[in-house]
Homo-oligomer: A and B are copies of this chain.
Amino acid sequence: MNFRSDNCYGVAPEIADAVQAANQGTDSSYGDDRITARLKARFSAIFDREVYVYPVISGTAANALALATLVPPHGAILCHAGSHIAVDECGAVELFTHGAKLVGLEGANGKLAPAIVETALARFEKGSIHHPQPNAISITQATEVGSIYRRGEIAALSGVARANGMKLHMDGARFANALATLGCAPADITWRAGIDVLSFGATKNGAMGAEAVVFFAKEDVRDFEYRRKKSGHLMSKMRFVSAQLEAYLDDGLWLKLASRANAIAAQLAEGLAGVDGAILAHPVEANEVLVRLPDETAARLRKAGAVFYDWEPPSGGRTLIRLVTSFATPAQDVANFVRIAKG
C-alpha cells in the first residue's frame, strides 16, 4: 500500500521496452542522436504548433532551467507559497537564476488567481532598480494538492502576466494527470491559454527519468542549451532519455497511464468519504488525495503497512496526509486502505 508518491512506482512496460530498443549501434551523443531529433516534430504535433523541446532528467532541472532562461538575476518569480519550486527543490530556482527572488503567495487549493498576483505586484515597482523585477509567474498543473487549473483560470493569469510584461511558466510534473481530467487538447491549457514555457513531466507518470522543457516560441529559448550543459544536465547518451519520451507519447500512452492513476485516486477519495472523521482537504481532480484523518486512523493504517506522507503536523486530533496514486497502483491497495481506515 504505497501512496507516498507516484515516483515510488517503476517504469511502464512500454517505456522500459523503448529504452531497451534504443540500445542499438552507435549514435551521436549529447542530444545529437536520431531519437532526440524526432522529438521536436512529435511534440509539435501533440501541441498543435511548432515547439522547442529539450529533455532533462528531473523536474527540478526542468523548472529551474526553464525559469532561469526567462528570468534575469534581478528578476522575481511569483508562485504559490506551497509550490514545488518554493518548498521542495532546495532553492534550485534561486541557484539557477543566480539569485532571482521567489515570491511565495497564498491561494486556495494550491492555486494562484489574478487578484493574488496583483496584490503582490504592488510591492515591486516596475522599472525600479531597487526592486526585484517580477518577470514571471509560475503555476503548477496539477497542483501540489491535486487540484487543477481550468483553461479560463490560466488565461486570466496570463492576462495579468501580459499586462505586466511577465512570462508564464507551468510546472507540469503531473501535466498528463491534469489533461486526462480536463479532456482538452494539450494546446488549450498551454500556449492557447498563454503559457510560455512548460516543464513537461513524464517521470511521475511511468517514465524512468525523463522530463522535457517545452518552449512555445523560439525567441524564448535564448541560451537554454548553454544553461543545460553548464549545469551538468546534458546527458551524453541522451537517446535513452528521448526514447522514454517518445514511447510515453506513442498511442496516447501518457494519457492512458494518467487516466488510470486518476481513476484510482477517485476510487480512493470515494472510499474515504465513507470513513468516520475523514475530511477531504481539497478537490480530488488528479492523482492526489489530501485528507484529514483522525490520528488513530492514520496510525492504524501505518501499522498495517500503508506508506504515505504527513502533509502537515498533527493538529486537533487529525493529521493532514497526502495519498498519491500512480499508473501502477493496485486497485486492491485502495480497497485494503479504505477497509483498514474504516477500522
Smallest CB separation, A84 vs chain B (Å): 9
A246 within 8 A of B: no
Closest residue of B by beta carbon distance from A88: B130
Residue of B nearest to A236 (CB): B7
Of A4, A103, A226, most B-chain CB atoms within 10 Å: A226
A90 touches B74 (CB 8 A): yes
A265: shortest Cβ distance to chain B, in Å? 16
* Residues B230 and A74 in contact, CB atoms below 8 Å apart: yes
Interface string of A1-17 (1 = CB under 8 A from B): 01011011111000010
A312 to B25, CA, bound (A): 28
* A176 contacts the other chain (CB 8 A): no
Interface majority SS (helix, strand, loop, mixed), chain A:
loop
B26 near A2 with CB under 8 A, answer yes
Task: Select A81's contact among B60, B123, B209, beta carbons within 8 Å.
Answer: B123
Contact bitstring A75-101, B, C-beta under 8 A = 1, else 0: 110000110001111111011111111
Q: Which has the most chain B C-beta neighbours within 10 Å: A99, A103, A204, A235?
A: A99
Q: A90-B129, A208-B237 are in contact. Are A231 and B230 (CB under 8 A)?
A: no
Closest B residue to A2 by beta carbon equals B26
- Number of chain copies forming the complex: 4
Given the known interface contacts A203-B236, A209-B240, A312-B122, the answer about A101 and B94 at a Cβ–Cβ threshold of 8 Å is yes
CB-based contact B230/A73 at 8 Å: yes
Contact with B along A216-237 (1 / 0, CB 8 A): 0000000101111111111111
CB–CB B234/A58 < 8 A = yes
Docked Cα-Cα span, A59 to B235, in Å, equals: 9
Asked whether A8 lies within 8 Å of B26 as measured between CB atoms, the reply is: yes
Q: Are B56 and A123 touching (Cβ within 8 A)?
A: no
The docked-state distance in angstroms from the alpha carbon of A272 to that of B214 is: 46
Query: Which B residue's beta carbon lies closest to that of A333?
Result: B26
Interface string of A165-188 (1 = CB under 8 A from B): 000000000000000000000000
Hey, which chain B residues are within 8 Å of A230, CB to CB? 73-74, 89-92, 95, 99
Known contacts A29-B5, A101-B91, A208-B240; A57 and B235 CB within 8 A of each other: yes
- Contacting residues, chain B, for A153 (C-beta < 8 A): none
State whether the Cβ of A133 lies closer than 8 Å to any Cβ in chain B.
Answer: yes
The verdict on A132 contacting chain B, using a C-beta distance below 8 Å, is yes
Chain B residues lying within 8 Å of A229, measured Cβ to Cβ, are: 60, 74, 89-90, 92, 129-130
Q: Are A23 and B10 in contact (CB under 8 A)?
A: yes
Per a CB cutoff under 8 Å, which of B122, B209, B223 touches A313?
B122
> 7 pairs across A/B with beta carbons < 8 Å?
A9-B26, A72-B226, A73-B98, A74-B227, A91-B100, A99-B99, A209-B235
Q: What 13 additional pairs, Cβ within 8 angstroms, besides A9-B26, A10-B22, A91-B230?
A: A7-B237, A16-B20, A57-B209, A58-B233, A65-B232, A74-B91, A86-B101, A88-B130, A92-B229, A95-B230, A96-B99, A102-B102, A232-B233
